[in-house]
């Protein structure tokens, strides 16, 4: 008998595609980095520090949680890094540096690992982290906005009292003072569209550059890591519902401004598309996206907060199992008696 090595025996298929969870996650991380780099030039270097603290604490909390729960430690898969990045991206640039640590514990330990780890969490961990911080540190989380830097003085806000320079976000101004005040503060609509598209407006660390977020999102679609269904339905429905209901009379709202402000772009491409907490069937994706868009606009118009993307996604997350049940893939040649 010929000599041969011990053979692997397993069921078919015997070949697998080159894709892996790690590859997907690290690609998403790469797509998220350009907005972070730009945020240094918009809000100063402290955005880097806050993000680094957020990422490091999410990764550390993931490792500790998995040790505590006797599960294999999977920090290399990049999913905790994404949570850390996303959480940092949706907190204001002027918060104390230790704030993300508390958010990380809530996001990664409670919202992710206590519910079963990757694949089993009901809510988007990064959004839970932010919601927790909003509830526990409402002042820091709603007032630490900074006016954009326009002269490359990126160390401007380091160590300085944030309160002295705080500047309300466009959505806050719009909600409480109306569009005339908005124009007074941010210039004509034309200027606003360009500034907001590029990212020069007060807002959370990584949410302001619609342009770079769009680019990153389109790359993920090109790579087929996400599909167009959720981002498109979120953006279109935010635009539509704003146009329909956010103006003084029906159909007079400003959809473009609504899409370019707040966290719509970041939410649509990077948060509402989280595999675990969004549906996988195409029709369900569109329903989910429209739900996120509608709730966002509802919160913006009627809610207590000027921005609603975070809570809109969190409210849609628990509906995902139901959506998956309602919109099952169409079976090709169903056997009698088993169709459901």
Partner 1 sequence: MNESLLTFPKGGIHPPDEKELSQNCAVEVMPAPKEVEILLHQHFGAPCNPLVKKKDLIEEGDLIGKVEKGLGANLHASVSGTVKGIGFSAHPLSVKAPSILLETDPDAAPKSYSALPWEDLPSQQLLEKIKAAGIVGIGGAGFPTHVKLSPPPEAKVDTLILNGAECEPYLTTDQRLMVEHPEQVIEGAGIMLRILGIKECHVGIESNKPDAIEAMKKAVSENPDNGARILIDPVMVKYPQGSEKQLIESITKRRVPGFGLPFDVGVIVQNVGTAKAVYDAVVYEKPLYEKIVTISGRGINRPANLLVKIGTRLSDIVSYLGGIRPGLSKIVMGGPMMGFAVSTMDIPVTKTTSGVLFLTDAEINSKPHGQCIRCGWCLNVCPMGLSPNEIGIYVEAGRADETSRFGVFECFECGCCAYTCPAKRPLVQFIRLAKMKSKR
Candidates 17, 159, 164, 180; binder of partner 1 (CB under 8 A) is 17
Minimum CB distance to partner 1, residue 79 (Å): 8
Q: H or E stretch including 53?
A: helix 46-68
Using rule CB under 8 A, residue 281 touches partner 1: yes
Using rule CB under 8 A, residue 280 touches partner 1: yes
Residue from 137, 165, 163, 170 nearest 257 by CA? 170
65, 107, 120, 131 from 114: Cα distances, Å: 8, 10, 9, 17
Using rule CB under 8 A, residue 7 touches partner 1: yes
Structure tokens at 289: 């996206």
Candidates 26, 74, 218, 228; binder of partner 1 (CB under 8 A) is 74
CB 258 within 8 A of CB 316: no
CB 144 within 8 A of CB 204: no
Q: For the chain, give the number of residues.
A: 340
Using rule CB under 8 A, residue 249 touches partner 1: no
Minimum CB distance to partner 1, residue 171 (Å): 31
Using the rule CB under 8 A, give the single segment among 21-29, 104-112, 167-175, 295-303 that binds partner 1.
21-29
Minimum CB distance to partner 1, residue 267 (Å): 19
Candidates 62, 77, 207, 307; binder of partner 1 (CB under 8 A) is 77
Helices (H), 223-337: 229-245, 255-260, 264-266, 282-302, 309-316, 320-326
Mention every residue, 6+ apart, whose C-beta is less than 8 A from residue 97: 46, 49, 50, 53
The footprint of partner 1 on residues 24-53 (CB under 8 A) is: 24
Q: Which residue has the tokens 């941010």?
A: 186
Using the rule CB under 8 A, give the single segment among 18-26, 93-101, 170-178, 294-302 that binds partner 1.
18-26
Using rule CB under 8 A, residue 228 touches partner 1: no
- 164: exposed, middle or buried (Cβ count in 10 Å: 0-12, 13-18, 19+): exposed
Please give the backbone phi and psi of residue 306, each rounded to the nearest 5 degrees, phi first.
Answer: -70, -25
Using rule CB under 8 A, residue 222 touches partner 1: no
Structure tokens at 5: 């090595």
Q: One symbol per residue from 303 to 332: x for binding partner 1 (CB under 8 A), - otherwise; what is it?
A: ---------------------x---xxxxx
Dump strand ranges (E) for 106-236: none
Minimum CB distance to partner 1, residue 259 (Å): 26
Using rule CB under 8 A, residue 302 touches partner 1: no
Please give the backbone phi and psi of residue 279, each rounded to the nearest 5 degrees, phi first.
Answer: -70, 160
Nearer to partner 1, 23 or 185 (CB): 23
Nearer to partner 1, 122 or 215 (CB): 122
The footprint of partner 1 on residues 113-172 (CB under 8 A) is: 116-120
Taking the CB of residue 212, how many other CB atoms lie within 10 A of it? 23
Using the rule CB under 8 A, give the single segment among 8-16, 53-61, 206-214, 308-316 that binds partner 1.
8-16
- Binding footprint of partner 1 on the chain (CB under 8 A): 1-2, 4-5, 7-17, 19-21, 23-24, 74, 77, 116-120, 275-276, 279-281, 324, 328-336, 338, 340
């Amino acid at each position: 008998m010929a000599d041969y090595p011990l053979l692997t025996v397993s069921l078919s298929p015997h070949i697998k595609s080159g894709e892996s969870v790690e590859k997907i996650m690290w690609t998403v991380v790469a797509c998220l980095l350009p907005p972070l780099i730009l945020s240094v030039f918009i809000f100063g270097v402290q955005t880097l520090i806050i993000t680094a603290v957020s990422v490091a604490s999410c990764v550390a909390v993931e490792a500790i949680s998995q040790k505590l729960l006797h599960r294999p430690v999977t920090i290399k898969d990049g999913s905790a890094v994404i949570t850390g990045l996303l959480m940092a991206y949706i907190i204001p640039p002027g918060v104390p540096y230790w704030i993300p640590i508390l958010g990380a514990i809530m996001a990664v330990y409670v919202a992710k690992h206590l519910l079963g780890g990757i694949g089993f969490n009901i809510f988007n961990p990064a959004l839970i982290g932010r919601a927790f911080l909003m509830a526990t540190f409402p002042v820091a989380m709603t007032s630490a906005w900074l006016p954009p830097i326009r002269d490359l003085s990126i160390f401007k806000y380091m160590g300085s009292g944030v309160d002295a320079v705080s500047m309300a976000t466009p959505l806050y101004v719009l909600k409480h003072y109306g569009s005339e005040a908005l124009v007074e503060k941010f210039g004509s609509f034309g200027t606003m569209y360009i500034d907001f598209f590029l990212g020069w407006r007060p807002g959370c660390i990584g949410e302001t550059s619609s342009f770079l977020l769009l680019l990153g999102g389109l790359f993920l679609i090109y790579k087929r890591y996400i599909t167009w269904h959720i981002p498109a339905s979120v953006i279109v429905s935010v635009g539509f519902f704003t146009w329909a209901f956010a103006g003084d009379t029906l159909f007079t709202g400003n959809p473009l401004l609504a899409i370019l402000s707040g966290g719509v772009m970041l939410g649509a491409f990077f948060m509402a598309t989280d595999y675990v907490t969004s549906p996988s069937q195409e029709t369900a994706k569109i329903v989910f996206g429209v739900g996120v868009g509608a709730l966002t606009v509802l919160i913006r118009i009627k809610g207590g907060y000027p921005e609603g993307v975070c809570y809109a996604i969190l409210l849609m997350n628990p509906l995902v199992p139901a959506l998956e049940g309602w919109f099952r893939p169409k079976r090709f040649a169903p056997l009698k008696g088993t169709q459901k």
